[in-house]
Amino acid sequence: MIDKQTIAIVGATGAQGGGLVRAIAGDPQGRFHARALTRKPGSEKARELAGLGVELVEADLDDVDSLRRAFRGAHGAFCVTNFWEHFSPDKELAQAANLANAASGADVAHVIWSTLDDTRRRVPLDDDRMPTLMSKYKVPHFDAKGEADRFFVESGVPTTFLLTSFYWDNLIAFGMGPKAGSDGVLALSMPMGDRKLPGIAAEDIGKCAFGIFARGVELAGQTVGIAGEHLTGAEMAAALTRALGREVRYQDVPPEVYRALGFPGAEDLGNMFQYKRDFETDYCRARSVEESRSLNPALQSFDDWLVRHASLIPLG
Ligand SMILES: NC(=O)c1ccc[n+]([C@@H]2O[C@H](COP(=O)([O-])OP(=O)(O)OC[C@H]3O[C@@H](n4cnc5c(N)ncnc54)[C@H](OP(=O)(O)O)[C@@H]3O)[C@@H](O)[C@H]2O)c1
């Protein structure tokens, strides 16, 4: 019997890592063994993974020794941080540094770091097009991930930098679904103007990561951007209208209005949409649908995703 290569998966109980766990468990060739990292091996989600025959290991992003132990003997490591749990870019940076140190200390052969753009490269802090947040960021949950890329480079661990896209699942769980206006018509509100937003089914991120590990270390040192489709708000609204059988209208919202909505993270997300809108060409070019499909032949379009998920979208 050939020994399977172990892939240690951070965020295995979540959207990105969970997709990778399921891709490994469902691989007809059985190429990899999935090792799921979690702080809570007794949680319902962790027990579900154990039911798939996945190895569970307790580890915490704030504890580098726990990560080193969890990575020991692994060929690959999928690394992701969850900004939305704490809203702190500085904490995200520290967690990413722990991941890079642990992967290098455990001699992992191939890391995938789930990253995003450091928007300050195009919009420096003294650029007034969008406000500076937390004194040193433009889009905190993007900038910290992009800044953290250097920890992986400096650690010397062979790393593929995975640029992810907007999850369509945000329409279900992140409060971004269509809401009825005063006229009763559902409106999908985003500050994207008439520009295209690269989007993806969250489950496909892990499947693309599987494709990267399956291709081998040839993709180490490279940045790979993924998306299921690039769509304007109007195109998304038209697809929602077809899927829901009820009119959905796209409503462009000025970024300054979005930033002032007052929910936690509104300023961060307002700047994020403005960045994607204003740098549409480069932002989309960095996320090739064709390359994503070559990594994951089952890549879903927005219509595909809607067939399975439209009924789960809360309509406010
Ligand atoms: N929503 C979007 O459109 C979008 C798009 C691109 C990128 N992202 C990024 O995706 C990231 C979140 O990923 P996700 O959506 O896959 O997360 P998720 O579904 O919310 O799940 C969070 C995962 O992170 C793990 N985790 C959190 N803190 C941890 C810690 N201290 N130690 C160990 N594990 C920890 C959790 O594991 P346990 O609880 O089991 O320990 C869980 O598996 C965010 O940083 C966000 O910026 C989001």
Q: Report how far ligand 1's centroid is from the alpha carbon of 134 (Å).
A: 21
For ligand 1, atom 20, name the residue with the nearest CA: 14
Residues with CB under 6 A from ligand 1: 10-17, 38-40, 43, 60-62, 80-85, 141, 164, 166-167, 170, 174
Q: Report how far ligand 1's centroid is from the alpha carbon of 45 (Å).
A: 13
Pairing mode, strands 110-115 and 159-163: parallel
- Output phi, psi for 310, to 5 deg: -55, -40
End-to-end CA distance of the chain: give it in Å, rounded.
54
pLDDT tens digits, one per residue of 169-218: 999 998 899 999 999 999 999 999 999 999 999 999 999 999 999 998 89
Give the Cα separation of 307 and 305 in Å (integer).
5
Q: Helix 140-155 to helix 89-105 angle, to the nearest 10 degrees?
A: 20
Q: Report how far ligand 1's centroid is from the alpha carbon of 182 (Å).
A: 35
Q: Report how far ligand 1's centroid is from the alpha carbon of 128 (Å).
A: 31
CB neighbourhood size of 11 (10 A): 23
For ligand 1, atom 26, name the residue with the nearest CA: 11
For ligand 1, atom 44, name the residue with the nearest CA: 82
Q: Report how far ligand 1's centroid is from the alpha carbon of 71 (Å).
A: 18
For ligand 1, atom 40, name the residue with the nearest CA: 38
* pLDDT on residue 2: 62
| Atom nearest to 59 CA in ligand 1 | 33
| Atom nearest to 12 CA in ligand 1 | 43
Tokens of 91: 């904490």
For ligand 1, atom 22, name the residue with the nearest CA: 14
Model pTM score: 0.98
DSSP assignment letter at 177: S
CB neighbourhood size of 228 (10 A): 27
| Atom nearest to 43 CA in ligand 1 | 40
Tokens of 55: 């190895």
Q: Report how far ligand 1's centroid is from the alpha carbon of 179 (Å).
A: 26
Tell me which H or E stretch contains 20.
helix 15-25
Tell me which H or E stretch contains 271.
helix 266-278
Amino acid at residue number 119: T
Q: What is the separation of C-alpha 5 from the centre of its chain, rounded to a whole number of angstroms?
A: 24
Tell me which H or E stretch contains 249.
strand 248-252
| Atom nearest to 39 CA in ligand 1 | 41
| Helices and strands (H, E) in the chain, number of each type | 14, 13
Residue 225, strand partner residues: 163
Short-list 144, 272, 130, CA closest to 198: 272
Give the Cα separation of 132 and 135 in Å (integer).
6
* pLDDT on residue 316: 75
* pLDDT on residue 114: 99
* pLDDT on residue 3: 81
Task: Flag residues of the chain having pLDDT under 50.
Answer: 1
| Atom nearest to 83 CA in ligand 1 | 45
Q: Report how far ligand 1's centroid is from the alpha carbon of 276 (Å).
A: 21
